[in-house]
Amino acid sequence: MIALDKQTIRDIDAHGKRVLVRVDFNVPMIDGAISDDTRIRAAVPTIEALRAQGARVVLMSHLGRPDGAVVEGLRLAPVAVHLSGLIGAPVTMVSDCIGPEAESAVAALEPGNVLLLENVRFHAAEETNDPAFAALLAKLGDVYVNDAFGTAHRAHASTEGVAHLLPAVAGLLMEREISIMGGALTEPEHPFVAVVGGKKVSDKIGVLKNLVGKADHLLIGGAMANTFLRAQGYKMGMSFVEATSVSTARAILSEAPHAGTVIHLPVDLVVASQLSSSVDTFIAGVGTVPDNTMAFDIGPATTERYADIIRSATTVIWNGPMGVFEMEPFAAGTLGIAEALAQVNGTTIVGGGDSVAALEACGHAGSVTHVSTGGGATLEFLEGVELPGVAVLRDRAIAAPQ
Ligand code: ADP
Ligand code: MG
């Protein structure tokens, strides 16, 4: 972990203070029940640390896309109940995130108490980053903490606007995300291997460009590999190829050797006549994909090569599945990568919604150094973009040169 250049909750004395904390409680819900509490659990260390400091903790989050209206199914009440169980203490809930009810509930908090404000996106002013709305939020705290890494790529009132109005520092999850991923991008221990897959080159151009020149090896899989193979002139049958990105892929391939990055493409593929979990599949070497078939996974020889390179790495960043891992016949490549990652003696980082789902599905989430909680935020971070919700936090004082 490298030292974060932003102040964190460790740099403040929160005792007795009202601490307004932006968390990411945007959890998946099925019929009003939380189906995955990962994001809630990820915020607990910051909440516990603030309670231990004797802070009056005021939490705020968005949930779903209510688009500026009150949507009953997107109330945060189930999250308050769940959080209360996790921290073993009551979590008070109010029916709005601003206004008299919220203000009096905050005024009633004792040191160590926790309050959860209602969904900030019930107000359209949240996403427009309206300064008047940010000022109403700021009335509820003496200090602001941003622990919502997954929303830090959005300049909204609760992630950015309010941070101009109060002393603003990072929470522990935010610190961990930025220092582990930032450390790998800026001061990686070599060999540094990046694994990039998923569907489209166009979704990941920024990530690919940022990794070329930083990573020693860049392993490409998923449908994205089809576009790169096409750029090298291979016939890909009926496989998904992003025609508009072929020239980008070609440019990345020609630039990489000069930047010190070796790009690896599949040498074999799992192909089938259609995308179905009961279809017959076979292995085709690159250049021999039959006209009437499509590539849906990297082949076994590729998986073995990629796994060898991963196992000899000291830093690995993985974003994007190697195939249609959601279907058993096309899951082996992604599983092979996850298994290799679990064996690495070094720092291993996995980011991206589908990549994290794949890692969890094969039971390896506990074997990597860091599973990023962001989707879009993680991708932007890997692109090297400064996230607005981070930029606005207080800088750490830099020691004067001697
Ligand atoms: P992440 O969410 O981790 O950033 P992406 O969203 O870029 O990943 O890509 C994940 C999707 O790509 C998955 O739904 C997967 O089924 C799909 N995919 C991977 N390989 C292929 C392929 N060869 N053909 C079609 N779809 C693919
Ligand atoms: Mg995705």
Is the CB of residue 360 below 6 angstroms from any atom belonging to ligand 1? no
Least confident span in 6-20, 50-64, 350-364: 350-364
Q: How many CB atoms lie within 10 A of CB 68?
A: 14
Tell me the CA distances in angstroms from 55 to 6, 19, 110, 279, one per residue in order: 21, 6, 8, 58
Dihedral of the alpha carbons of 262, 267, 272, 275, in degrees to the nearest 10? -10
CB proximity list for 174: less than 8 A, separation 6 or greater: 8, 146, 147, 148, 149, 152, 390
If you ran DSSP here, which 8-state letter would residue 112 be given?
T
Is the Cα torsion angle 352, 358, 361, 365 positive or negative in sign? negative
Per residue in 338-378, pLDDT (tens digit) is 999 999 999 999 998 899 989 988 899 899 999 999 889 99
Catalytic residue set:
39, 200, 353, 376
Ligand nearest to the CA of 378: 1
Ligand nearest to the CA of 223: 1
CB proximity list for 92: less than 8 A, separation 6 or greater: 80, 105, 109, 113, 114, 115, 116
Per residue in 111-161, pLDDT (tens digit) is 999 999 999 999 999 999 999 999 999 999 999 999 999 999 999 999 999
Q: How far is the CA of 348 from the centre of ligand 2 (A)?
A: 19
Q: Which atom of ligand 1 is nearest to the CA of 200?
A: 7
Q: Which atom of ligand 1 is nearest to the CA of 325?
A: 16
Q: Which atom of ligand 1 is nearest to the CA of 353?
A: 2
What residue's CA is closest to ligand 1, atom 4? 352
Per residue in 81-116, pLDDT (tens digit) is 999 999 999 999 999 999 999 999 999 999 999 999
Asked whether residue 1 carries a pLDDT value surpassing 60, the answer given is: no
What residue's CA is closest to ligand 1, atom 8? 320
Q: Of residues 255 and 400, which shows the higher confidence score?
A: 255
Yes or no: say if 392 and 145 are a contact pair by the CB < 8 Å rule: no
Mean pLDDT of the chain: 95
Yes or no: say if 389 and 146 are a contact pair by the CB < 8 Å rule: yes
Least confident span in 214-218, 294-298, 342-346, 358-362: 358-362
Cβ-in-10-Å burial (0-12, 13-18, 19+) of 55 comes to buried
If pLDDT is split at 50, 70 and 90, which confidence band does 2 have?
low
Asked whether residue 32 carries a pLDDT value surpassing 90, the answer given is: no
104-110 long-range CB contacts below 8 Å, 24 or more apart? Answer: 106/18, 106/56, 106/58, 106/140, 106/141, 109/18, 109/56, 109/57, 109/58, 110/56
Is the CB of residue 295 below 6 angstroms from any atom belonging to ligand 1? yes
Is the CB of residue 240 below 6 angstroms from any atom belonging to ligand 1? yes
Percent of the chain scored above 90 by pLDDT?
93
Yes or no: say if 89 and 51 are a contact pair by the CB < 8 Å rule: yes
What residue's CA is closest to ligand 1, atom 16? 324
Asked whether residue 200 carries a pLDDT value surpassing 90, the answer given is: yes
220, β-bridge pairs? 196
Q: Which atom of ligand 1 is nearest to the CA of 225?
A: 23
If pLDDT is split at 50, 70 and 90, which confidence band does 401 have?
low
Tell me the CA distances in angstroms from 42 to 39, 183, 285, one per residue in order: 5, 20, 43
Ligand nearest to the CA of 294: 1
Helices 222-231 & 201-211 angle (0-180, nearest 10): 80
Asked whether residue 70 carries a pLDDT value surpassing 80, the answer given is: yes
**Residue 84: what residue type?**
S
Per residue in 390-400, pLDDT (tens digit) is 999 999 876 55
pLDDT at 400: 53
Of the candidates 234, 400, 221, which has an alpha carbon nearest to the alpha carbon of residue 323? Answer: 221
Ligand nearest to the CA of 325: 1
User: CA-to-CA distance for 192 and 213, rounded, in angstroms?
Assistant: 11
If pLDDT is split at 50, 70 and 90, which confidence band does 12 have?
very high
Q: Which atom of ligand 1 is nearest to the CA of 204?
A: 7
Is the CB of residue 203 below 6 angstroms from any atom belonging to ligand 1? yes
Tell me the CA distances in angstroms from 109 to 29, 47, 82, one per residue in order: 29, 15, 20
pLDDT at 398: 64
Q: How far is the CA of 368 from the centre of ligand 1 (A)?
A: 21
pLDDT at 208: 96
Tokens of residue 206, six digits: 């920024």
Tell me the CA distances in angstroms from 126 to 40, 130, 153, 296, one per residue in order: 21, 7, 14, 41
Ligand 1 pocket: which of 196, 199, 286, 293 to mutate (most atoms <8 Å of CB)?
199
pLDDT at 4: 73
pLDDT at 353: 86
Q: How far is the CA of 203 from the centre of ligand 2 (A)?
A: 9
Give the N- to C-terminal CA distance of the chain in Å, as an integer. 26
